[in-house]
Structure 1
Amino acid sequence: MNIMLGQVVYSKAGRDEGRIFIVSGIIDDKYVFVSDGDLRRYENPKKKKIKHLNITAAIIESISQKLNSGIKITNAEIRKALAEVKAAEAVKE
């Protein structure tokens, strides 16, 4: 399974189970860094095993482009983007 920077994921294990995150860094084929802009800020991301994540097809393009080009992103950008994803999912249900 390919995972990309800026991809939306949900934690399925650990004390943060059920929380929504974006992938803010890729370590190797087993680990990634995730951030939510709130408890796990961009400056201090959570190292998480990929097998402990529910990976969605959603990729936040603006954040993905910034991460790929090395431009700094803000925690407010992450929070806003994740709130929009949550709102879109709430409408679907």
Structure 2
Amino acid sequence: MNNNQNPQIGQFVQIIRGRDAGQYAVIVGIVDSKFVLLADGDKRKFDQPKKKNLIHLQLQPTISSEVVNSLDESGRVTNGKLRFAISKFIETTAIHVEKGE
């Protein structure tokens, strides 16, 4: 697993352990070196992020600039923006997988 890189706010992750395994989410907070706060705007809202151990996550190489900008500007991000960012990310990832990249 590639957990040697540091998680960043706005980074996409795939959950690989727990009830939400297989789902994608966005890092909306960093607790410490082991834990991050995740939200997907759907089951896991920004106001009640899920605290997740990094060993249960697969960090994706993509960071959502929309989420980062929104957090920088107002300290929060709307659930709609989270859902949109994740669906856009999944769409572009699926296209790469189909092409075999």
TM-score interval, normalised by the smaller of the two chains: over 0.9
Structure 1 unaligned blocks of 5 or more = none
1:58 corresponds to? 62
Given candidates 82, 91, 97, the residue that maps to 1:78 is 82
Larger radius of gyration: 2
Please, what TM-score do these two structures have when normalized by structure 2?
Answer: 0.87
Q: Structure 2 CA distance, aligned partners of 1:3 and 1:68?
A: 17
Residue 77 of structure 1 and its aligned partner are, at CA, apart by 0.3
Structure 2 unaligned blocks of 5 or more = none
Please, what TM-score do these two structures have when normalized by structure 1?
Answer: 0.94
Q: Structure 1 CA distance, aligned partners of 2:36 and 2:74?
A: 17
Residue 69 of structure 1 and its aligned partner are, at CA, apart by 4.6
1:37 and 2:41 correspond = yes
Q: Structure 1 CA distance, aligned partners of 2:83 and 2:15?
A: 16
- CA RMSD of superposed structures (Å): 1.1
Identity of aligned residues (%): 33
Q: Which amino acid aligns with 2:12?
A: V
How many residues of Structure 1 are paired with residues of Structure 2 in the alignment?
93
Residue 91 of structure 1 and its aligned partner are, at CA, apart by 1.1
Q: Structure 2 CA distance, aligned partners of 1:52 and 1:11?
A: 6
